[in-house]
A and B are shown apart, each in its own frame.
Chain A
């Protein structure tokens, strides 16, 4: 069996996720009640028996550090296994912060030398999917490839949003020679979108990194490196046909959650066997969910520590959420320990940890739908987002496409009415 070292790119914060990534990287975003987005990549690694993992992260890492712990949750703690966070460090050169995905790997060549693997797998930690990396590895070895990247078929009209590979795919094969690569082309010629999963022969990666030390601004694997790799090495495209969930924008994050529902949900968490750190946010210390005598639940994901006395529909409740009597929650995602007080009604809203919605308040939904005034591109579908620990006053009225910043207290609201599209900071 090939000896493999993995890098998980967990860095970025993104404006598109607004208040949800104010104090955590995208990969540490909570997902589906018990999990974090990065759990999906780490669990895939665990199931593929890849046990030496470096996590490249520089943005607000505390939540990530707590979550990863010693890696025991993914069985990556032991004499010949480890998961380490590799933050940027000051070195001989002036360039210290990671400037891009390839730059981040280039800063950690020591980690590759120390582990001396046959292959290096680089993947991003911010997608929701189940993939058997060993199948990709097998394909890579069979093709005697230098580099293999994974791709998924997307509709042609959406293809311009992705890095696209031109693959000489043979019938019955899980991929083929990669003959071209374009990053987000205006006029797409392929429907194979990159999944940002790259497998390198170690010496090829090191050779390439030495020759083109990517310390210039913003060196990314997809945009900057792949187009030129294709001509220099044996590069293959591996095609993946399972579910692939994005969490890049608030809309994507919310829509991906909705794939948890239905008689045959597209995200089958049970089947995927996802692991998480049950110590994080005290998941393990919470008791089973308590549903009260007046409660009504329909299409709800519910977790330990929740207490529901009101009505909940098409929503995801993270551990410790309290829904009081007469409250109504619809189409919403409520993070850890959110409290919705008696008689409050919330619709199409994402609340971060520790948010409290005051008695009788109205949040989200409503018409007319004005895009958020500050971030019209990120928030126009009617979602409202509330940052962590914000306490909304009783009987407040908050429209759709609103952003409420973290740590707002009741007395910090000028008015009880926050009109659609407004941002309160």
Chain B
């Protein structure tokens, strides 16, 4: 079977994830201890037997590019396989930055046509899900569709975040609305498209086609064969801090079907700059761990409960870590208490700090983004000993002792780097 070329849209800014995306694109946001969001899509692609991938980057691509590397972690390295990073580039026209999904593809026409494939599969790199794309391709071919959109039923109140559709008995899309306030349909688009290559190439010739959801689909459904491929299963957009936190709780919930290993999701453990591989993790003599997800190279001398720990985390004596997410190489010193805190990489938390995310007072800077009782600590922050930090607080990346006015950060406050 002629394999589709895959275009992975990885340019997303994901600004609602706040300081987690300050220095990285949304698809590069760490998830579940050892993964990044994009690992789910990259693994789904390889597990579906598709081996030619272009990754469209734009926003802060550095950590994404170093993460993907040669693609070896996902087995994309070989004579007939390959993954190519496709950043925006200056061309004959003045159009340089990608203006939308369709525009990004248009600027990479040479890649789209190089492998002479029947179909182009377009996916995005910022969702948590498991999907075999092959049945969707088969569905697309069976329907002799011009293109097919993967869709699933979601609760009505969530439809405002999605492209939504109504379909006929054959699954053909009859009506389309982009992020509707009062949706007519119940199906949400997952941002996964299969295009007949010849159709796509023609559609992209019209420079007015900038975005699939906004420009192409509304026009196309009037005259062309556009189908909705029904998907059911675990699929999460972790685009807000609350969704991001909830998906992590699913990892710990035995009733949830979120199970990266069973899904064949592959991380890249060969992190840049790692001289030795991370050794086994150790729970020391007085350590206590329940209901948690623990990664390599972690040393636990205190208590950990309901939490997800990335590689290299240290939890000191007498420290307690409850319902929190700690990313790579965080140091939690002795006597610290943490509850409902999301902590980015390489944070140091001084002795006897108390950081409790629970609060009903939204963050003052970002009331729309941080209001569900979580506290957020940015990459590389160093928190002085005995600091008390309340809920919905944001401790910005790389802040340290000098940036604190007092040893107490009240609910909804932020600590920023001094100018």
Contacts and interface: CB of A to CB of B under 8 A. Distances in A.
Contacts of A47: 275
B293 A302 contact: no
A275 B276 contact: yes
A299 B276 contact: no
A288 B294 contact: yes
A66 interface: no
A205 interface: no
Nearest to B307: A291
Interface in B264-319: 264-267, 269-270, 275-297, 308-309
B261 A305 contact: yes
B260 interface: yes
Given A284-B266, A299-B284, A304-B34, A32 B292 contact: no
Contacts, number: 114
Contact of A291 (B34, B254, B286, B292): B292
Contacts of B183: none
Contacts of B288: 296-297
A298 B285 contact: yes
B73 interface: yes
B277 A302 contact: no
Given A289-B293, A304-B295, A274 B261 contact: no
A109 interface: no
B270 A278 contact: yes
A41 interface: no
Contacts of A296: 288
Contact of A287 (B34, B276, B279, B297): B34
Contacts of B12: none
A132 to B, nearest CB: 13
Nearest to B282: A301
A297 B289 contact: yes
Given A285-B266, A288-B34, A304-B296, A34 B291 contact: no
A272 B275 CA distance: 9
A89 to B, nearest CB: 30
A73 B275 CA distance: 11
A288 B280 contact: no
Contact of B264 (A285, A289, A292, A295): A285
Nearest to B291: A293
A211 interface: no
Interface string A53-97: 000000000000000000001000000000000000000000000
A85 B294 CA distance: 36
A272 B276 contact: yes
B291 A316 contact: no
A27 interface: no
Contact of B279 (A261, A270, A286, A292): A270
B296 A303 contact: yes
B33 interface: yes
A303 B254 CA distance: 20
A288 B295 contact: yes
Nearest to A316: B280
Interface string A301-316: 1111100000000001
A33 interface: yes
Given A32-B279, A263-B284, A305-B261, A287 B32 contact: yes
B290 A295 contact: yes
A284 B269 contact: yes
Given A33-B280, A299-B284, A302-B280, A287 B294 contact: no
Interface string A105-118: 00000000000000
A295 B289 contact: yes
A225 B73 CA distance: 45
A305 B287 CA distance: 20
Nearest to A318: B280
A262 to B, nearest CB: 9
A298 B287 contact: yes
A338 interface: no
B280 A297 contact: no
B282 A300 contact: yes
B281 A301 contact: yes
Given A297-B289, A300-B283, A278 B294 contact: no
A1 B286 CA distance: 48
Given A285-B266, A291-B293, A292-B291, 14 more contacts: A33-B280, A34-B277, A270-B297, A273-B275, A274-B276, A274-B279, A278-B277, A284-B73, A284-B266, A287-B259, A291-B291, A295-B289, A299-B283, A302-B283
Interface of B: 32-34, 73, 252, 254, 259-261, 264-267, 269-270, 275-297, 308-309
14 contacts: A34-B277, A34-B278, A43-B276, A260-B282, A288-B294, A289-B294, A292-B254, A292-B290, A293-B290, A293-B291, A297-B288, A298-B287, A301-B280, A303-B296
